[in-house]
């Protein structure tokens, strides 16, 4: 399977697919941070505002790299029930980690938005874009948070994703769009030639592409 050169190319290919559809006053959300370079071409193609959406992983106590859930600045936490069972933990055991992750998510939003209010989505089509989906935990948390803002339609889109994770997202979004769904899936970065980490400065450089609608 040919790899995407970089996130921008992946976004351009995704935009080609999404631009051919009918949208009602859309707002495009890039999942911070890697989803923003993918979302920017989509926002331009749809002539839609570009917005940022933040979700942070909830790590296991003493093993922060082991993601057992995810949380947004203001939405309900999502927990991986199967993962919790494997390590014999409950959501209550992750209360401290969840509180810390939420605080980090709020700090991140302040860096990106300052005192600007996010674009309203009530009654509008909302598209959530990421650079890829491996497990889907952060995307689930992000979709649930956005759903609470009453969009007309909630769509998740990514250039590549693991089929099992996409099935999980299909229960949260009204539609899931994914260009490639390889059966052999280990990591999102395998499908990019350039998968360097997106920086906060890069996110901030993209957000002026947003338009006031």
CA distances from 32 to 85, 91, 174, 183 (A): 28, 24, 21, 26
Confidence bin at 212 (pLDDT 50/70/90): very low
Per the listing, tokens 């938005």 go with: 113
Per the listing, tokens 């199967």 go with: 82
Question: Which pLDDT score is estimated for 211?
Answer: 39
Q: How far apart are CA 89 and CA 2, in angstroms?
A: 40
What mean pLDDT comes out for the span 169-188?
A: 95
pTM of the model as a whole: 0.93
Question: Which pLDDT score is estimated for 208?
Answer: 61
Parallel, antiparallel or unpaired: strands 78-79 and 50-53: unpaired
In terms of Cα–Cα distance, which of 51, 43, 49 is closest to 203?
51
Contact predicate 38/59, CB 8 Å? no
Tens of pLDDT, residues 41-65: 999 999 999 999 999 999 988 888 8
Instruction: Give the lowest-confidence range in 34-48, 62-76, 148-162, 180-194.
Output: 62-76
Q: How far apart are CA 169 and CA 56, in angstroms?
A: 17
Domains and CATH numbers, the chain: 7-54+118-205 (3.40.50.2020), 57-111 (no CATH)
Confidence bin at 159 (pLDDT 50/70/90): very high
Instruction: Give the lowest-confidence range in 32-41, 55-64, 134-143.
Output: 55-64
3-state secondary structure of 189: helix
Residue 169 CB contacts under 8 Å (≥ 6 apart), including other chains: 133, 136, 139, 140, 143, 156, 161, 176
Structure tokens at 174: 């009204």
- Report the percent of the chain where pLDDT is more than 70: 97
Question: Rounded to 5, what percent of the chain is helix, strand, coil?
Answer: 40, 25, 35
Question: Which pLDDT score is estimated for 209?
Answer: 43
Q: How far apart are CA 1 and CA 35, in angstroms?
A: 21
What mean pLDDT comes out for the span 144-163?
A: 97
- State the chain's mean pLDDT as an integer: 93
Tens of pLDDT, residues 89-126: 999 999 999 999 999 999 999 999 988 888 899 999 99
């Amino acid at each position: 399977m040919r790899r995407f050169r970089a996130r921008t190319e992946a976004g351009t290919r995704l935009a080609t697919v999404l631009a051919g559809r009918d949208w009602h006053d859309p707002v495009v959300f890039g999942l911070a941070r890697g989803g923003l370079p993918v979302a920017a071409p989509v926002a331009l193609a749809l002539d839609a505002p570009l917005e940022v959406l933040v979700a942070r992983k909830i790590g296991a106590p003493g093993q922060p790299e082991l993601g057992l859930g995810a949380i947004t600045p203001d939405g309900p936490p999502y927990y991986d029930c199967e993962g919790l069972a494997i390590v014999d933990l409950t959501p209550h055991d992750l209360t401290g980690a969840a509180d810390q992750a939420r605080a980090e998510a709020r700090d991140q939003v302040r860096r990106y938005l300052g005192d600007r209010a996010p674009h309203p989505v009530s009654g509008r089509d909302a598209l959530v874009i990421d650079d890829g989906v491996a497990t889907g935990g952060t995307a689930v948390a992000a979709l649930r948070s956005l759903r609470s803002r009453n969009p007309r339609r909630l769509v998740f889109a990514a250039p590549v994703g693991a089929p099992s994770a996409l099935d999980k997202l299909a229960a949260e979004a009204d539609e899931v769009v994914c260009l490639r769904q390889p059966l052999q899936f280990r990591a999102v970065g395998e499908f990019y030639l350039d998968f360097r980490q997106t920086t906060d400065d890069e996110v901030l450089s993209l957000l002026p592409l947003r338009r006031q609608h």
